[in-house]
Each structure stands twice: as structure tokens, then as C-alpha cells.
Amino acid sequence: MSAAPDLQPAFRALADPTRRDILKRLSAREMTLAEITAHCDMTRAAVKKHLVVLQDGNLIQMRRSGRETLSSLNADALKPVVNWLTYFESFWDTHLGALHDTLSDLKDTELEDKE
């Protein structure tokens, strides 16, 4: 059996909106530092730091190709995070009398959330 993952680096990495945005962009394709920076409204060095934090959380990998470094998403690392949160699923809606359908709520949120 594998050891329990340390959730802290992943939760830490997810706590910044710039980093969450980078994750979404990397879900489309792997990108160079310059490409990511083009969307981030901050310097290359600042974006690089965010990438290191994401790497610490194991949420991305980086591979060198010639003079550029490609960052790619490691979505699997989100599984333990989702699992931690899923523990609370049984407490949803308790104070409202469980009138809402959880699945339809989730779908609504997905459509509305612009982040």
C-alpha cells in the first residue's frame, strides 16, 4: 500500500488564483514559461516561482526540451484533494433539509463559474 499523500503542498498551490489559472491553461496543452507568462500580467520570474510551487504540490511536471522548458499538468495529484473534500459530502445541505439535488447544484455551479 502507498503512503498517505501530504496534502499541504497541493492545498498550498491551489490557494493562489494565478496558479489555479495556470492549471486550467495547462489542461489544454503543455506550455513554455514564456507562453504562460503571456497570460499572467507579471514578470517571467514571478510566473516561474508559481510554477515551482505547483511543482512542489506535484500538480505539474516540467521537462527541458532544447532551450525551453515545457510545463504540463499532473491532474492525478488532485485526486487526494478531491477525496479529502469528499469526506464532507455527507454534511451537505443538512441545515436546509436536503431539498436540493446535489448533482443539479454542481452542474449549475460549473456553468456559472468563470474562474
Partner DNA sequence: TAAATAGGATACCAAATGGAATCATTTTAG
Partner DNA sequence: CTAAAATGATTCCATTTGGTATCCTATTTA
Which residue carries 499532473 as its cell?
Answer: 74
Sign, Cα dihedral of 81, 82, 83, 84: positive
- Residue 80 lies near a copy of itself (rule: CB under 8 A): yes
Write down the least CB distance from residue 96 to DNA, Å.
Answer: 24
Residue 40: CB atoms within 10 A of its CB come to: 15
Residue from 38, 43, 52, 102 in contact with a copy of itself (CB under 8 A): 102
Helix (H, G, I), strand (E, B) or coil at 10: helix
3 state SS of 2: coil
| Residues forming a β-bridge with 61 | 72
Binding flag, residue 67, DNA (CB under 7 A): yes
- At its nearest, how many Å lie between a copy of itself and the CB of residue 58? 13
Task: Return residues touching a copy of itself (CB under 8 A).
Answer: 1-5, 7-8, 11-12, 14-15, 17, 20, 23-24, 27, 73-76, 78-89, 91-96, 102, 105-106, 108-110, 112-115
